[in-house]
Amino acid sequence: MNQALDAKTGGTPSLPVYLDHHATTPCDPRVVEVMLPCFGEVYGNPASQQHSPGCAARSLVEGAREQVADLLGCGTSEVVFTSGATESDNLAIKGVMESTATRGRHLITAATEHKAVLDVCTRLERRGYEVTYLAVEADGRVCPDRVSQALREETVLVSLMLANNEIGVLHPIAQIAECCRERGVLLHCDAAQALATLDCDVNALGVDLMSVSAHKAYGPKGVGALYVRRRRPHVRLSAQLDGGGHEGGRRSGTVNVPGVVGFGEACAIIAGRREADARQQRFLRDRLLHRLRRGRSDLRVHGSLEHRLPNNLNVSFPGIDAGRLVREVGSVAVSSGAACSAPGTDGSYVLKALPGSAAELGSIRFGLGRGTTEAEVDFAAGEILAAVAAHEPDPKVDACAATC
C-alpha cells in the first residue's frame, strides 16, 4: 500500500494537512515509476517512425491512449492529448464554433463555469459570436429546462461542466445531453474535477466532447486530453495549434511522452479503485461536515449536498473573512476559491451566482483525497473552528463600545 496516497485511520497527521485536492493532487508514485524511462531509455519522438527509438516512444503513447480511452469508454481515435483541461476547453469550444460558423454562431454555458470556459466565451463574443450564460438554481445546478429553453436554431454548442471546481456540485449532464441531442446541438463537458471519483463514461453521459486533466487525478501536471466523438455525430474541430498535424491533425506539437504515459497509468489506477475511493472520501467528507457543524451550528454549506463530488465541501461562517482565515491557518492547506482564479479578484463569482447567496466574505473549499485520513479530518476541523472562534468579536467589547 502506498502510504503517501492511501487513506489511513490513525496516527498524528503530518503538517500541513493537505485538503486542497481540487487545486491539484499528489502524483502517485506508480505514475512516476512508469514515467521515469521516458526521460532516458525511451527518448525518441513518437512522430519519428523511421527508427526504433521513435517507434518505442510511439508504442508507449498509444498504450497510454488506450488506458485513457478505457476509462472514458471511448475509442482510442477519439482521444486527443493536450497540455491540460484548459487547452482541452479551448480546443473544444473554439474548435467547434469555428468549424460550424456557417451553420450558427450561438453557444450556451453557465455563469458558474471554470474560467477556462468563461474566458473563451468572452473572447468569442469579441469576435461576433453569441453566448447565453445560464443562471443556476439555489443548489448550484443547471436545470435541463433552462438549457432547453435557451436553445435556438443557430445554437451549435452547449458547454457545461460535470462537477464544479469550487462547490463540487454536479450538473445533470445526461439529461441535458438528451435535450441537446434532440435539437442536434453538440455538448461539451469539462470533467477535470470528476475523473478520479466519478464515472466519466462519455456514452453513458451522452456528451460529444469531454475535457480531462492528469494532475487532478494523481497524474503529472502539464498533460490532459480531449475526447472528441467520431460517430453519431462525427464532431469536427478547427485546430487551434498549427505546425505538423499531430494528434490526427487536431493538435499539433510534439507529444509530451512522459506526461502522456503518466496520465495513462493514472487512469489505469483510477479504474481499479474509483468506487472505493469515492466511498471513503464521502465518508470522510461527511465526518468533516459533522465536526464543523457540531462546533458551529451557523455554518453554511454552499451547493447541493446530494448532487456533489464525494470529496468536496464548501462552507462559510457568517461574519468571518474566509480568505484571511485560510491564510492564517498554516497547519491546514485549504483554499478560499479556485486555484485558477486571478489574485485580487473581487470574491467568488461562483458563490455570487448562487441565488440568495450571502458570501461577501468568501468560503472555505475543502478537497479531500486518496491519502486523507480520519485523523487529518478531525485535526483540520479543530484548527478551522479554533481560528473562527479567534476571529469572532468579543461580545463584551462590543457591549462596551455601544455604551461608551
pLDDT at 42 over 60: yes
Quick one: average pLDDT of 180-188?
97
Q: How far apart are CA 293 and CA 362, in angstroms?
A: 18
Q: How many CA atoms lie within 13 A of 16 on its CB side?
A: 15
What is the fold of 17-27+274-401?
Aspartate Aminotransferase, domain 1 (3.90.1150)
CA dihedral in degrees (66, 68, 74, 79; nearest 10)? Answer: -90
pTM for this entry:
0.93
- Name the least confident of 242-246, 355-359, 368-372, 379-383: 355-359
3-state class of 300 per DSSP? strand
Locate cell 495549434: which residue? 241
Quick one: average pLDDT of 155-164?
98
Quick one: average pLDDT of 365-370?
98
Residue 202 host element (H or E): helix 202-205
Quick one: average pLDDT of 161-184?
98
pLDDT at 7 over 70: no
Which of 299, 212, 186, 210 has the alpha carbon at shortest distance from 264?
212
Q: What is the pLDDT of residues 192-201, one digit of tens each?
A: 999 999 999 9
Quick one: average pLDDT of 271-290?
98
Residues of the chain with CATH 3.90.1150.10: 17-27+274-401
Quick one: average pLDDT of 235-262?
95
What is the band of 8 on the pLDDT scale with cuts at 50, 70, 90? low
Q: What is the per-residue pLDDT for 259?
A: 98
**Grid cell of 172 as nine digits:** 445533470
Which of 27, 38, 143, 340 is catalytic? The answer is: 340
Q: What is the pLDDT of residues 311-322, one digit of tens each?
A: 999 999 998 999
- Name the least confident of 6-10, 134-138, 315-319: 6-10
| AA identity, residue 171 | H
pLDDT at 3 over 60: no
- Residue 340 a catalytic site member: yes
Residues of the chain with CATH 3.40.640.10: 29-268
In words, the CATH class of domain 29-268 is alpha beta
- Residues whose CB falls within 8 Å of the CB of residue 373, separated by 6 or more in sequence, listed in order: 7, 8, 9, 10, 11, 13, 284
Quick one: average pLDDT of 255-262?
98
